[in-house]
Amino acid sequence: MTQDRTQDIAQTRTAVVTGASSGIGAATARALAAQGFRVVCAARRTDRIEELAAEIDGQAVTCDIHDPESVAALAAAVPTCHVLVNNAGGAVGVDRVEDADLDDWRWMYDVNVLGLVRITQALLPALRASGDGVIVNVGSTAGRWAYEGGAGYTAAKHAVKVVTETLRLELNGEPIRITEVAPGMVRTDEFSLVRFGGDREKADAVYAGVDQPLVAEDVADAIAWVATRPSHVDIDELVIKPRAQAAAHKVHRT
């Protein structure tokens, strides 16, 4: 390896994106790669992240954020990290509180909150080692609103908001910036389909008549913008919604 090539690798900024196998995560990996980052694509579905990593000249690391050993293996593969995007998350079900499936609630809290904390804890040494780290937590407008049938998911995303705010306080004075990017209505291939147990008709009804809901690339563009601000600039939170969505209960449909 030539000296110039060695220097190029040493100077390359590294970004880690969880949940990179689809949707916002995959779009974010592409957006950060376009900004010059070497992107570590982390997710459970190895075939998908390997394909993505090959496309963007990144690295695929199979990681289950529920599993501490898997998270530790991810951290071992990333000695220095400039940007961490905690994107992995999801929603299951639309039950009322009185009918809540606590296993579904437990899964949502584990993947949206505890998984985020596991990854952050594991990668903080690498973020510190960069001398100029950024943590972007992908929250949701569900972390700001309540709506019927959404208590399990909204509770988890409210927790993401508060964890982000607390990290901002606790890491103040260190060379690490903290941001929550909170999307509203985003149409992706899987989010609503997973929430409705694979029922395509119910999933499609969420977006029926909505004039241009957000797509994954819109959110990825916002994340990449946050991650590339000057090192003294911290975007504490960024709420992004489609024009058609004024609030959870106020969506213009044609």
Return the SS3 of 168. helix
The CA distance from 48 to 26, in Å, is 9
Backbone φ, ψ for residue 246 (5° rounding): -90, -30
Angle at 68 between CA 10 and CA 135, to 5 degrees: 45
The CA distance from 56 to 247, in Å, is 36
The CA distance from 142 to 95, in Å, is 15
Q: Which residues have CB under 8 Å from 110's CB, separation 6+?
A: 66
Enzyme catalytic residues: 153
Question: Which residue type does 227 have?
Answer: A
Per-residue burial over 201-233, b if 16 or more Cβ lie within 10 Å, else e, is eebeebbeebeebbbbebbbbbbbebbbeeeee
